[in-house]
Amino acid sequence: VDFDMLYGITVDDIITVSARDSSWFDVDGSAFGKTTPAYIGNARGGDWWKLDNSCALFPANGLPDAWWVCDAISPRTGAARSTGSFYLIHNEKDEALVNSETVCSNGSRAPCPKIGYVEQFGQPGVRMDLTQNTLITGPINGLGWLVNLDAGSPKKITIKMLQLLQGERLMLILPYPKGTTFSIIYNAAFWCGENCRVQMRQVGSPKEVAESNGDTYYFDNDEGLLFIRVVMQEEYKLDFVNPNPGINNKAFSRLGVTIPYLSWHNNIVIEADCTPSAENPEYCANDFDGTLARANACAYYGEEDKVQVGFDDCFDVAADDTCGAILADLSPCASNPGCCEQQGLTCFMRDENWSQCRPDCVPGRASAKGKPVWSCEKTGASANPTPAPVAPVASPVTAAPVQSPVPSPITAPVASPVANNTGGGQDDV
């Protein structure tokens, strides 16, 4: 398949949004040669869209590493993956310049300076740069997004333009100096009539925040990390005790794709009381270098004995002496392909040095930049399937001709099996 005939990049010299908005959902995987649903994310901005080690890199416009293509359903857990988005204001003066003639403008092609990065929590380097246009779109229901700004930790942050389904989990982690205290408020729209402003309460662990309805926060004073859960709420009324699931009815759904409702008016305001930076008093004096005190991010959520094997997966390797290391991608599956088969997966070969359990495999693609491409040769029972028994051939029967009905014309539009954009803003596809 000539994939360059299916998709391409029309804007390749400037990217004005942190979302790197070439993020698609391919309903059946066919646009990129897969047999299962897939998320496609921009690889030009880094590894932010690399969800686990089964993802593959695809080319476009002569670029060998243009897209990350990953399973929309976790190969190991079977959990459905999703995306979310919000806009983060950390400096109102800088934010006011966005989409001007001088900063982050598509029309004038003004440059969009880097101001920090956002990283999949627990996976150093699996990140993208944040630009001055701080719209962030990415995979959710994982361990969280770690946002680190070059200027330091903002004394005030406003999170707006929330877009995710009610009930899904978007954990936001922000570094702050030890001893910082917080006031965090969830605000409804200006026309709200009841319960329009909720003060978040502090709890004792990130796990409690993750399991809450979004009205809590946790600050790890030993490590200097703030945890909150970003959730959707109705704009006319806030209810963190019994959140209204009806908000998902506002989402757009078609052919297995759901685009969450965009909340234009609700916002979350974080105000930090801290020692200001000598360089910029609007930021806290913070020396966070990106290093987590706990080597295993799963431990932050009370799963100390598990190993992170994807952005959304903490796996108990020790629980299965035979297959644990194989299913955690710590050992090649060719040594025991049955470990894959018992999970409904296939053991595919990259080369003689590596193999992995996967739902499918696209030959000639790499799983990391600069690494060998996959041959996708199968091993185990799936490599030599038992042929199905041959059914006896029935004697021909002569039947009277049947008049076929004339079909009615189809008037409903027919959707093409193409990937669907799940982000907003600049479209460079």
Residue scoring higher pLDDT (335 or 423): 335
pLDDT at 240: 94
Compute the mean pLDDT over every residue in the chain, rounded to the nearest whole number. 84
CA distance 22 to 420: 10
pLDDT of residue 420: 37
**Which parts of 107-256 are beta strand (E)?**
114-120, 127-131, 135-140, 145-149, 153-154, 156-163, 170-175, 181-187, 197-199, 201-202, 216-220, 225-230, 252-254
| pLDDT value for 47 | 92
pTM: 0.85
Dist. CA 80–CA 391, nearest whole Å: 38
Contact 234, 247 (CB under 8 A): yes
Amino acid at 294: R
H/E stretch holding 157 reads: strand 156-163
pLDDT of 392 strictly over 50: no
pLDDT confidence bin for 409, thresholds 50/70/90 = very low
Q: Per-residue pLDDT averaged across 240-266, rounded? A: 88
**Closest residue by Cα to residue 45 from 349, 261, 280, 369:** 369
User: How many other β-carbons are positioned within 10 Å of the β-carbon of residue 2?
Assistant: 5
- Contact (Cβ atoms closer than 8 angstroms) between residue 18 and residue 131: yes
SS3 375: coil
Residue 395 pLDDT > 50:
no
Share of the chain above pLDDT 70, in %: 84
229, two tokens: 């859960």
| Nearest Cα to Cα of residue 166 among 219, 244, 238 | 244
The pLDDT of residue 21 is 57
Confidence of residue 424 (pLDDT cuts 50, 70, 90): very low
319-333 pLDDT, tens digit each:
888 899 998 888 999
Show the tokens assigned to 348.
């595919």
Confidence class for position 193, pLDDT limits 50, 70, 90: confident
Q: What is the mean pLDDT of residues 333-345?
A: 93
In degrees, rounded to 5, the angle at the alpha carbon of residue 168 between the alpha carbons of residues 289 and 273 is 40
For the residues 195-224, what does the mean pLDDT come to?
96
Residue 20: pLDDT band (50, 70, 90) is low
Q: What is the DSSP letter of 79?
A: P
Residue 11 — very low, low, confident or very high, per pLDDT cuts 50/70/90?
Answer: low
Return the residue matching tokens 């495999």. 361
39 forms beta bridges with: 25, 70
Lowest mean pLDDT across 110-119, 221-230, 353-362? 110-119
Instruction: Output DSSP code: residue 424.
Output: -
Among the residue ranges 86-100, 253-267, 375-389, the one predicted with the least confidence is: 375-389
26-74 residue pLDDT tens? 899 988 889 999 999 988 878 999 999 899 998 887 778 888 999 999 9
| Mean predicted confidence (pLDDT) in 154-158 | 97
Burial class, 382, CB count within 10 angstroms (exposed 0-12 / middle 13-18 / buried 19+) = middle
CA 119 to chain centre: 11
Q: Tell me how far apart the alpha carbons of residues 123 and 113 are, in angstroms, rounded to a whole number.
A: 24
Length of the chain: 429
pLDDT confidence of residue 3: 67
Lowest pLDDT segment from 215-224, 264-273, 362-371: 362-371
pLDDT of residue 88: 95
